[in-house]
Structure 1
Amino acid sequence: MPNSFGLNRTLGGAISVIAFVSVLSSSAVLLTRNQLQDATDALDRSTQVARGLDAFRTAMLNQETGLRGYLITGRESSLEPYKWGRPALDETITRLRTLIGNDAERSRLLADAVTAARAWQADIGETAIGDAANPATRPEAVRIEAEGRGKQFFDTLRGKLAAIDTLEEQTRAAQAVRVTQAERNENLALWGGTLLTLLICAAIGIAVNRLIVRPLVRVMGFVEHVGEGDLSGTLGEGGHNEIGRLGRSLNAMVAGLSDLARTNRIATSDLNAAAAEIRASAQEQAASVEQQFAAVQETAATMDQITQSGAQIGRRATEVIATAQATAQTSRQGLRAVSDTARAMEAIREQAEAVAGNIVSLSEKTQTIGDIIETVNDISERTHLLALNAA
């Protein structure tokens, strides 16, 4: 049996190709989107680190500003920026450590900056505030702030924070490039997948039109011609799918219908010939019936003649009876005239012979009538049989 590709396998293969391309395109888009998300997250994390570094500087500056204000004015209210800066610095350090994570270089730079900040808080801030609270030691507190040790700590932490900032700036630049590339890759994957899907759909549409739509149009045209009574056409080879098998089945069906129509035409011709023969036989039987009817009419005329002869015989018999009565009367009168009687007897004898001859003739005619009646009955039976045959 030849290898056949059914419509379900063709359409299933087409749908599978589209689904595969869609999955592949979606996977590529998801991959590039994940890359874009990773790059965006890294860029956002770097931005948060930069903001945390700014917050670190701001917290230290607030502490320094509060300390200087307190040393200058001596009022406790001037220490508020210093008091706000300490918890803000702690929170910022915790957030920066979380954002930097396991990065060794950034962690080392942050640790150095935190060490400098803690050293400033312990050696400069706390010491100066403690000395400034006592009027006797207040000049020492001012000296500690003014001698420049605090600036060294600030220079150290600023340098460390600037180094982290430089690294983050490089990271932001790299991540910006990565984001741009990821966006480009995502667009390429999206549009490439869409274009590839459209091309595959177009190819599948062309294949469906060539393998399904056009053969179906030919089959429908062929069926319309067959419906109009044209059994002379055939469908060409339609492949080994369902439409091809349908075409071959239609060809076989049309061939069978053509043979049946040919057989019907032959049977109709034979039936017409038989009908013509029956018509001719009926005409012959009708002519025979007419002949028989004419014979019956002749028989009826003969029977009329026989009836008339019987009437004449009856009249003659009546006359014989009258003559016999007259003879009897003449006999009773005597032998008045023997010679007349002898002549009368002779006449009677002659008449009796004539009557006997008439009676014999009547008997023969009666026999003839019986034969005619039998002939009529035979003709009637034959007529009845011919009528049945004609029916």
Structure 2
Amino acid sequence: MTGEEGLPPARGLSTWTTRRWLRAGVAASLAVLALLGVTGAWVLGRTASISQELVDVKSPALNSSIRLESALLNQETGIRGYGLTGTAAFLAPYHQGLTEQKASTARLAELLRGDATERKGLKAVEDAVERWHERFARPIAASPAGAPTPLATERAVEGKAAFDAVRAAMAAQQEELQTAREEARDDLLGTMTLRNWVFSAIALVIVALATLVFEGLRRGITTPLDRLGEDARAVTGGDFEHPIAQTGPADLRRLSAEIDSMRRRLVRELAFTEEARLRLDAQAADLKRSNAELEQFAYVASHDLQEPLRKVSSFTQLLQRRYGGQLDAKADQYIDFAVDGANRMQILINDLLDFSRVGRVHHTHQSVDLGAVLKRTLSALSVGIEESGAVVTHDDLPSLVADPTQMGMLWQNLIGNAVKFRRAGETPRIHVSAEQEGELWRFAVTDNGIGIAPEYAEKVFVIFQRLHTKDAYDGSGIGLAMCKKIVEFHGGTIGIDPAHTRGARITFTLATTLPEHAGHADEGDDARRAG
């Protein structure tokens, strides 16, 4: 089942993913900004061009025209004074005016070279000046000094008319230059106004784009993600029936659909798991009740069999003592069988009773010195140890929180088995080692006896499992099973070390503190005894 099930078919813009929306938005923004940038650059260039023309051409041209007019006035004043008086001092302004005229004319020609109309105005001025020079200024300046020049009087009217023509040409040129400068200034002001409007528009467009981008991101990404996060947190909080809303661009809707699909699958899995848990709880309750009944049965059976079995054993022994040797050999053999069977049954029932009591009767929580417990166990097994000549050694053993009685039963079974299953013709050597591994202690009981085959490494810890006949080795087959129960009751594990081949090595672990479940064993025992 995919997350797209149940979704309506997508069309048009609804199929756009977040990446596609971002690409389209960025492309549109870049196009608008590029257009505005080109417009702004053109306006700035136009403003700079007009400003440069006004500063570098129009205003300097008008100033040069004014200086040219001043130079011509100096010439006219000097020539007129020289012609009327013949004083050579009046020629100084004339010659200085000529120099300034050449400079101003050259400057105007350079500034106005790109404007044909204004060049015509300059040409008209130059022509008028040349006529005045030719008909009036140069002839008078060439006259000898010391006396008035008759030519000045003769051509006074003509000279005035020629210089008036110069004035008119200069006035026309200056008017044109003034008009051009005014037009350039107006153009500059208009362009500056346009520039201000363009940059204001750019600022507004940037603000609008930023607002659109922010709003688009909010509506298309952040809001759907926030909604998705809220829905996901609701599901995480335990409301697995809460649906995941599918909003935003196509990829976010697909993500929401996938998460919702996962939620629905989790709901199904949780329902199945809850159903399985209820079944397991019911089975565990049945198993617990069955185990309790079995343990109670084993306890009651072994306990209630004691009295009739004791009578059977007592009377068969009494029959053996009183009538032994008075009957035939077959009868004596039968009596021996009955006595032996009753004794073995007595031992088996006692062992079974001890096995059922592990974790029920003996559950004293205290610090136990395992070395002292081992010492008492060796004292209790001293007869068998002396008869076999066994040598028992041990490492320094720690003190643990455990049940002392069960620890004694553990050492007694392990040491007793090591002595019992000795190799013929060889002195039994038994060593008990201890090594700490984190929170656990690992113990090992190593002997040089007959050993245990690898295929029986698990079988020997099952109750009533024997590897030898009762004629070869006595016992009930409960010892190692009881050891396993004691070790597991104390939170450890027990097993056969397959690496040790010369004899047997049984290793087991014990926790430094008693597990919690061990502290509640007395409740079940009290219930059984009350029953």
**In structure 2, what is the Cα distance between the partners aligned to 1:25 and 1:126?**
63
| 2:68–2:104 Cα contact (<8 Å) kept | yes
Partner of 1:56: 68
Q: Unaligned 5+ residue runs, structure 2?
A: 1-8, 356-462, 466-477, 486-531
Per the TM alignment, residue 247 of structure 1 is displaced from its structure 2 partner at its CA by 1.0
Worse-superposed segment, 274-283 or 371-380:
371-380
Of structures 1 and 2, the larger Rg is shown by 1
Q: Does 1:281 align with 2:293?
A: no
1:32 aligns with 2:43: yes
Partner residue of 1:306 out of 301, 309, 316: 316
Q: Which residue of 1 aligns with 2:446?
A: none
Give the counterpart of 1:210 among 202, 219, 236. Answer: 219
* Residue identity matched to 1:276: A
CA contact (8 A) 2:118 2:177 kept: no
Partner of 2:119: 107
Partner of 1:18: 29
Following the alignment from structure 2 to structure 1, what is the Cα–Cα distance between the partners of residues 217 and 133? 81
Is the counterpart of residue 219 in structure 1 residue 228 in structure 2?
A: yes
The CA deviation at 1:149 is: 2.8
Instruction: Give the counterpart of 1:120 among 129, 132, 153.
Output: 132
1:76 shift after superposition = 4.7
Partner of 1:366: 336
1:196-228 C-alpha deviation (Å, 9 max, x unpaired): 332232223222211111111111112222332
Cα distance, 1:138 vs structure 2: 4.7
Alignment of 1:244-255 (within 5 A): 244-255=253-264
User: Residues 297-339 of structure 1, C-alpha deviation per residue, up to 9 Å, x if partnerless?
Assistant: 532442234334444458xxxxxxxxxxxxxxxxxxxxxxxxx
Query: d(CA) in 2 for partners of 1:58 and 1:209?
Result: 73
Is 1:219–1:235's contact at 8 Å kept on the other side of the alignment? Answer: yes
Counterpart residue number, 2:108: 96
1:131 Cα shift? 0.8
One-letter amino acid of the counterpart of residue 125, structure 1? A
Aligned partners of 1:32 and 1:182 also within 8 Å: yes
Contact 1:63-1:82 at 8 Å conserved across structures = yes
SS in 2 for 1:85: helix
Identity in percent: 18
Partner residue, 1:292: 302
Deviations 1:248-294 (A, max 9, x none): 22112222222222222122112212212211221232133121343
Offset at residue 368 of structure 1 (A):
2.8
TM, length-normalised to structure 1: 0.76
Distance (whole Å) between structure 1 residues aligned to residue 124 and residue 330 of structure 2: 179
Aligned partner of 1:329 in structure 2 is none
Change (3 A) 1:94 1:376: same
Decide which moves more: 259-268 or 294-303. 294-303
- Are 2:109 and 1:139 aligned? no
Tell me the amino acid that sits aligned with residue 275 of structure 2.
I
TM-score when scaled to structure 2? 0.57
Specify the SS of the correspondent of 2:149. Answer: helix
Query: Per the alignment, in what secondary structure is the counterpart of residue 356 of structure 1?
Result: coil
Aligned-partner SS, 2:246:
coil
Specify the alignment match of 1:6 in structure 2.
17
Cα separation, 1, equivalents of 2:224 and 2:285: 49
Partner Cα separation in structure 2 for residue 263 and residue 12 of structure 1:
45
Q: CA deviation at 1:25?
A: 1.8
Q: Does 1:198 align with 2:168?
A: no
- Determine the C-alpha separation between the residues in 1 that align with 2:268 and 2:153: 128
Secondary structure in 2 matching 1:148: helix
Distance 2:464 2:251 in 1: 63
Distance in 1 (alpha carbons) for counterparts of 2:293 and 2:248: 63
Which residue, out of 84, 106, 129, partners 2:141? 129
- State the Cα distance separating 1:57 from its structure 2 match: 0.5
Would you tell me which structure has more helix in proportion to its own residues? 1
Check 1:305–1:132 CA distance in 2 against 1; reply closer, same or farther (3 A cut): farther
- Assess if the C-alpha contact under 8 Å between 2:79 and 2:94 holds in 1: yes
RMSD (Å), alpha carbons: 3.5
Amino acid at match of 2:103: E
Aligned partner letter, 1:95: R
Consecutive aligned runs of 4 or more in structure 1 exceeding 6 Å deviation: 358-361, 376-383
Greater relative CO, 1 or 2 (CA 8 Å, sep 6+): 1
Q: CA deviation at 1:182?
A: 1.9
Is the 2:84–2:148 contact (alpha carbons within 8 Å) kept by the matching residues of 1?
no
Deviates more, 1:196-205 or 1:38-47: 38-47
Structure 1 unaligned blocks of 5 or more:
315-354
1:187 aligns with 2:187: no
Relative to 1, partners in 2 of residues 1:170 and 1:139: Cα closer, same or farther, differing over 3 Å?
closer
- 1:171 is aligned to 180
C-alpha offsets along residues 108-166 of structure 1, whole Å, 9 cap, x if unaligned? 33212112212333443332222133x4x75335436x623332221111111222223
Aligned to 2:252: 243
- The 1:385–1:368 alpha-carbon spacing in structure 2 relative to 1, beyond 3 Å, is closer
Instruction: State the alpha-carbon separation in 2 of the partners of residues 297 and 119 from structure 1.
Output: 167
1:228 is aligned, of 218, 230, 237, to 237
CA distance in 2, matches of 1:241, 1:90: 80
